[in-house]
Structure 1
């Protein structure tokens, strides 16, 4: 019961910090993280200690088992949610996503930081794997036959494809009639 109260208190604190950009604990956390980042840049001894700690954690079988458990639970939850679209936004996960969305809308600093992180991540992935991504997409598309391409386009465009076909036919017919009339008139 005490553990539940502590977890509930931490959850409320995190929710308050997420919704209030001027929350004192949030400001202190951001200051501490900025100071740590500065120290990591300037103190090689600290970098070595943290790197050593990281390597020890990676080598620890209990940590590996814990990470495997997290991965397996996450994978199972994602598979379950993908099979039931209504479940994706239910429960704690849905609440967390809604809080994140609200925080991103209300907090320009968090929004800017997330955008910066996303840009850096995409740039890193593209610089590291860009050629492989292009090769994979090209090889995949080249392996498709005409029916597969047709199915993909129809699925992507959906009902609008019929409107596109009708409009194409009407426009093509009007252009043909117009050219025919111009030919007869000249």
Structure 2
């Protein structure tokens, strides 16, 4: 597809060049015929002048027009080649000054077209953010970008492993964990947990657990055995253990029911005080802080924790690779939706668009500024490498037609000057 497009573009350029060459040839022919017409008119007027004195004015016009036409023909030809092939100095100006023209052209483009002011002004005319937003908002393009990222994921992950970044991150993670003060962090977490009385929900679960324990036959039997072992033998003869167990269980069940039914029960208030006191101890007690830090260090020192980073990385890499490289996976779907949403939100947020456009202008202007000398040198080098015939042909087919009109102008201006001089001669010199 790209080759066919390039071929079509080349064909269009070639046809345009052929049209320019044909127009140039027509203009040259017309100029040559006009010059021959001036010569013929001059000769005819001179022959008729003895019989018709007024033909002297025509002859003066034709003579001066011929001279003007020849002079301008010489000037136009001298730009591109040597007139009649003669080694006349200061002719074939363009071929003789190819390198100087190339350097000046490159410098002209650098100074006038790639200057910071014009570049920034031109960049301000482009809404880069809108282009990006429209591109991302297209679901097909977003899906294509997601698949492209998916194909790059394995290479990126492999590069991460080979670069040692994984080990670096693992070490940094362990170092940062060692700096964490566990006791204050735990106190803050508990404070957040108790803010909406979450600890009372935990207390309810504990109460339900105890209630379930009191209803468990095996648990009750174990408690009865324990009571029997503690009572004197005489009491056991009267089944005092069963009586005591029944009373204990009934009293405990009644207490637990009251606690569950009353949100302001004294036991709940006691639990509140216990939790708040524990939070204060975590925040202020050096002993608690030392114990928590020791527990943290012992935990981090275990080899299982060191291996955990590698295991997590392997699992994460496997998950990402499978999700990113598969066809129509959840990750690709989420990426596609994310890009589409980014495009839509970007299109609706003028502030972000303005900031993005400003960033594009700064970045691209800086890039152009850093590369403009290279562009100038590149243009100059390319012009210097052009074949002289190719260079001359390129300039001539693009501006040669306009230059041929100089010949017409020369004949007209020369003819008018000849008439003026002829009249001046007749009036003042005769």
Same fold (TM > 0.5): no
TM-score tier after normalising by the smaller chain length:
0.3 to 0.5
The structure showing larger relative contact order (alpha-carbon pairs under 8 Å, at least 6 residues apart) is 2
Larger Cα-atom Rg = 2
What TM-score, normalized by structure 1, do the two folds share? Answer: 0.33
TM-score in terms of structure 2 length: 0.18
